[in-house]
Chain A
Amino acid sequence: MTKTRRIFTLLLRLLAMGATLAATIIMVTSHDSAEVLNLTFEAKYSNESTFKYFVIAEAVASGYSLIVLFISSKSLLRHLVMILDVVITTVLSSSVSAAMAIAHVGKKGNSHAGWLPICGLVHKFCNQVTGALIAGFIAAIIYLVLLLYTLHTVYI
């Protein structure tokens, strides 16, 4: 692989690692509480299994990015890296999509099921979750671009 391609791939992987790390950290540090009629309403990421899945998926993806940064493009592991890239992109995409679905219910509610929106009560939590979702979405797109670029350079 020529030098520019190597640098570009390295840059994409660094960006992906940064995005996944940011998504994890922002989601983990999000919590807020509000008082409603004598009841304390506490919102943490660990109350929802979806957000826990999101944090785990992004953490695994960022660890994977870090490890793969050190594998050169000529080694024997590059085929395994390609296959693992596909798996990680799949997992990232599904985690972002699931978290977005639940966050959408939290923001707009679901009148058919009788679920009220909670974003009006806990603004800070909602904003941080939105930020984490944006970072996760960017990470998924970067991984997709990386995958297509690696395929393009390997095949051609």
Chain B
Amino acid sequence: MALETERKTEAIFNSTPAQKQKDRILLLLRLVAFLATASATIVMALNKQTITLVVATIGNNPIKASLTAKFQHTPAFVLVLYSLLIPSLLHIYNDCACTFFVVANAQASFHNLLILVLEIVGHKIDFKGLRLAIIAILDMLIVVLAAAGDGAAVFMAELGKNGNSHARWNKICDKFQTFCDHGSGALIASFIGLILLLIINIISIAKLFKPKSYNTI
């Protein structure tokens, strides 16, 4: 009974022109966030650079060795499963935080797409008055996951760019220029997506507070 009145108040609450305008702005923000995280995923996943170095010279023939920089390939479904359960422990299973970054951003863009489709075409689907709550909770989980991926990747990138003299770790960005450039681009896109996602989440939570005061019918 209470849920029926809640649904009715939600319907009344959501149909004023001002509310529709706000909903459209929210959809637009979510679309931009989806584009940002999707582009971050794609750029980092296709990030690869091979350079050849001359290692030694025997007589007249130089011996070349080629080094490749890319994010590690591991079986994708295992990664997705683990990152669904325990986000930060993913590092133990791979060499580079880049893989976790790619997976986290892939999940974030998938979530954005799903919620976009739901908002545009799924208004008739009945969630028993829990629509806002489900979206808010899912958004929160995805924000935490995407933030973890971003944090790990940005510090690994900083390590690659500046090295660490105390631990005798040399920087690698002077050799792999294109790799580092593409990586920074992907990171920037991912951060834009994260900030937009955080704003969307806060607006969704703020929306949750309001219907309570309208529910005095």
Q: Chain B interface: which of A8-16, A21-29, A64-72, A114-122?
A: A114-122
A82 to B7, CA, bound (A): 24
- Is there a chain A Cβ closer than 8 Å to B133's Cβ? yes
A48 to B172, CA, bound (A): 17
- Chain A residues contacting B137 (CB-CB under 8 Å) are 148, 151
The residue in chain B whose Cβ has the minimal distance to the Cβ of A95 is B151
Q: In the complex, what's the smallest C-beta–C-beta distance from A51 to chain B, in angstroms?
A: 10
Q: Chain A interface: which of B23-31, B58-66, B118-126, B200-208?
A: B200-208
- Whether A90 pairs with B147 at a CB distance below 8 angstroms is yes
A115 to B171, CA, bound (A): 9
Q: In the complex, what's the smallest C-beta–C-beta distance from A16 to chain B, in angstroms?
A: 14
Contact of B202 among A86, A104, A112 (CB under 8 A): A86
- Is there a chain A Cβ closer than 8 Å to B82's Cβ? no
Q: In the complex, what's the smallest C-beta–C-beta distance from A140 to chain B, in angstroms?
A: 8
- Whether B158 pairs with A49 at a CB distance below 8 angstroms is yes
Given known contacts A96-B88, A118-B167, is B136 in contact with A151 (CB within 8 Å)? yes
Given known contacts A86-B205, A96-B148, A112-B95, is B159 in contact with A105 (CB within 8 Å)? yes
- Whether A98 pairs with B170 at a CB distance below 8 angstroms is no
Given known contacts A49-B158, A115-B169, A155-B208, is B97 in contact with A87 (CB within 8 Å)? no
Give the interface size class of chain B.
35 or more
State how many residues of chain A have any CB contact under 8 Å with chain B. Answer: 44
Contact of B209 among A79, A97, A100 (CB under 8 A): A79
- Is there a chain B Cβ closer than 8 Å to A77's Cβ? no
A101 to B163, CA, bound (A): 15
> Using a CB-CB cutoff of 8 Å, which residues 153-183 of chain B contact chain A?
154-156, 158-160, 164, 166-170, 172
- Whether B148 pairs with A93 at a CB distance below 8 angstroms is yes
- Whether B155 pairs with A113 at a CB distance below 8 angstroms is no
Fill in one digit per residue for A42-74: 1 if any B CB lies within 8 Å of its CB, else 0.
110001111001000000000000000000000
- Whether B88 pairs with A93 at a CB distance below 8 angstroms is yes
A144 to B205, CA, bound (A): 15
Q: In the complex, what's the smallest C-beta–C-beta distance from B176 to chain A, in angstroms?
A: 9
- Whether B168 pairs with A83 at a CB distance below 8 angstroms is no
- Is there a chain A Cβ closer than 8 Å to B193's Cβ? no
The residue in chain A whose Cβ has the minimal distance to the Cβ of B165 is A47
- Is there a chain B Cβ closer than 8 Å to A154's Cβ? yes
Q: In the complex, what's the smallest C-beta–C-beta distance from B101 to chain A, in angstroms?
A: 10
- Whether B167 pairs with A93 at a CB distance below 8 angstroms is no
- Is there a chain B Cβ closer than 8 Å to A106's Cβ? yes
Most buried by B among A100, A102, A108, A113: A113
The residue in chain A whose Cβ has the minimal distance to the Cβ of B67 is A112
- Whether B167 pairs with A106 at a CB distance below 8 angstroms is yes
B residues with CB within 8 A of A: 67-69, 87-89, 91-92, 95-97, 100, 133, 136-137, 140-141, 143-145, 147-152, 154-156, 158-160, 164, 166-170, 172, 198, 201-202, 205-206, 208-209
A residues with CB within 8 A of B: 42-43, 47-50, 53, 79, 82-83, 86-87, 89-91, 93-98, 100-102, 104-106, 108, 110-116, 118, 137, 140, 144, 147-148, 151, 154-155
Query: Can you offer 9 A-B residue contacts whose CB atoms are under 8 A?
Result: A42-B166, A48-B167, A79-B209, A83-B206, A93-B88, A104-B97, A105-B159, A108-B95, A114-B170
